[in-house]
Every structure is written in structure tokens, then in C-alpha cells.
Amino acid sequence: MSKKIRIQQALRLLEPLVVNINGTSKCSCDFSQFSLNAPKGGASKYPLKIEDGLILTEALGASNPRSNFYKNWIFNSLEPLRHLLDLHPGGVLFEDLPEIGSKIQEIDADWVRDNVFFNELDPLHHCYGPDDSHPYRKITLCRSTFPLFVAGKKRRAFIEKFLVVYSYWSYKNSIEGQRTLTVTPLHSHPMNFEVTYFANYDNSSCVEEEEFIICLDDGKNCRPVIQSGDLDKAAISKAGIRRDKLRAIPHQREIWIPAQSDEMPIRILQDFDNDKLLAQPEIIGYTDSLFRPHKVTVSGDVDKTHYFAINNYISLTGEVYLYKDDGRLDECWNHDTWAQGKDN
């Protein structure tokens, strides 16, 4: 099957919809307003609000035969946030986010245990990255915004949920395409409450996560952007964080071989060492997209290895940074580009 046909099939399956989680299945509004790309200006410019019950999703279309399973899961996973907003309709506190995120992770882990393990993979789990240059698929399960108090100031923040499929179609050796296990580019993203899992594996299956530290490279020396708990002032400009001076430096590696454990192959991920330093309300406006800088390598027998992640981003901007091989910031991740295998 050609790359063009595979992309068309994926786009038919992943139908973008604006859904009302308060009852009605769809919102009668023009979808063209709601790009799957993070809007310039961040959450404050995005029109959908959790308070109104409105979310954007590409997982609940008519072509997904398991849309009801996804609907129940997505709606349930929003309840920890919605419950707190019911108690505090003016907005939740930034300091409450770790508790909200932890509850969402538990809901996600339960959904995986009940709906993924011991079952045939559903069509969304078979929706792979489009090509060698875009080696994974990031499916938008939910995007909306909510009011958040950050350092005493009321802001709007994104709540975004993604299913990440760590496989892609490689056309290097075949015009028909071959499913290939993912090696991601180095990237960082917003504060993330993540669950990862192997839906299938054997003794060869493995995932390696290489952790990096974001540093400030001024040409003379390269030092972490967080020094003694404070953000280096040299990393700040009037426009925000100085992206041109950022550089990701290797820190440590972790390898997970699921066959070496008797437990279910599912993990609720914890913060990287530096994430708590980045998650300070006074500096989050600058560090919003610098969390969990890492590179993921999935390996094993391709016929027996299927690895996935569920991301739950909470952020002001919704931006994901991609880095070059030398660790310098390259560009922002773009949904349309990666979904359709296009060059920027």
C-alpha cells in the first residue's frame, strides 16, 4: 500500500470533532476554528473551555468502531479536573496540578488494563507514524482549556490528552512500507502526567529512555537553565525564553525490558530530576515547554512488540520542542506536518 493511501486512511479514521461532554455528542460549530496545532498565543487564544463542556478530539469519529470505549475513558479522565473546578469555579491552583495529574494517570492505567491487555489492538493503536521522517503517531484524544491561578494571577491553560503510537511506516526498503519500531527525535514538552505500556512483547522487546538536561549555551559555557533552584536570568528575553541559547545535554539512561518482570507491562511515569525545578509557578511562563527532555528508542521483534504512551499535558502554550542532533533547539512540533508526513 502506498504512503499516500495509508495517510488518507489514517485521516479518515482520525476525524476531528468538537464534542460536548455535558451531554450532546457534537457541538454545532465550525471546526475550521479549531486547528489541531497549538495556536499562537497559547491557551488564552483557544476558544474551547472545559467550563462549557467543550473539547476537541480526533478519536470519536464514526470510523472508529471503539469510539464509545474511548468516549467513556476520555470523559472519565477529565473528572478530576472538572470536580475541582466545580468546587472552585474561578480556577484551580497551580499547586493542585500534581494531585489532578496523578488521579488522571490512575484512570488511564485502569483503562489500559481493562481495554488493551489480552485484547486485539483497536484501529487507533494500529495508526502508525506516516514515514521515516515522522516516526510516531500522536493522536489527539482531547484538547480544551481551563482557568488556572499561577503565582496569584489568573491564566488559561491547556488540558491535552494524546495517545502516542511508537511505530511508523518505513519506506526505505519497500514502496509498500514496513512497520518499524520508533526512535524519536530528542524533544521536550509541557508538564506531562504520563502512562506507558507494552500491548505486546516478547523477550526481545525493550524501550530505552535517554534523559537530557536543558542548558543555556552562551558560546563560552553551557550550564543548566535552573541554577540553585532559580531560572538563569540570561535565559530570559522580553519575548520569553531564549530558544536560540537552549541546548539539551545528555544526563542518564533507563532501560525497560518488560519480559524481566512478572508485573503487567504498564508504567505510571514519575518526574525527571529537573522537572520539579521547572514546575515553579513564578517561572512556568518561561519553562512551560522544557519538561522531560528525552529521546525514546523502542527495539525488539517488530512482529511481537507494540509500545504506546498516554500523555496528559497541562500547559500555557501547548508547545513541544524538537532538538537537533547537537542538542540545540530545532523547531516546534506541528500536528499537521507529522500527521501527513510533510516537510516544514
Average pLDDT over residues 204-233: 92
Q: Please give the grid coordinates belonging to residue 208.
A: 530505552
Average pLDDT over residues 48-71: 94
* Inter-residue contact 156 to 39 (CB < 8 Å): no
Average pLDDT over residues 155-169: 97
Which of the four pLDDT bands, split at 50, 70 and 90, describes residue 7? confident
Strand pairing of 92-93 and 137-150?
parallel
> At residue 187, what is the residue type?
H
Which of the four pLDDT bands, split at 50, 70 and 90, describes residue 173? confident
Whether residue 11 is predicted with pLDDT greater than 90 in this model: the reply is: no
293-306 pLDDT, tens digit per residue, is 999 999 999 999 99
For residue 136, give its domain range: 3-340
The confidence score (pLDDT) of residue 31 equals 53
The confidence score (pLDDT) of residue 344 equals 57
Average pLDDT over residues 133-154: 97
Number of domains in the chain: 1
Average pLDDT over residues 36-45: 85
Whether residue 82 is predicted with pLDDT greater than 80 in this model: the reply is: yes
Average pLDDT over residues 201-218: 95
Average pLDDT, the chain: 92
This prediction has a pTM of 0.94
List phi, psi (to 5°) of 246: -80, 145
> At residue 44, what is the residue type?
S
Which residue is it, cell 530570559?
Answer: 236
Average pLDDT over residues 201-219: 95
Average pLDDT over residues 122-137: 96
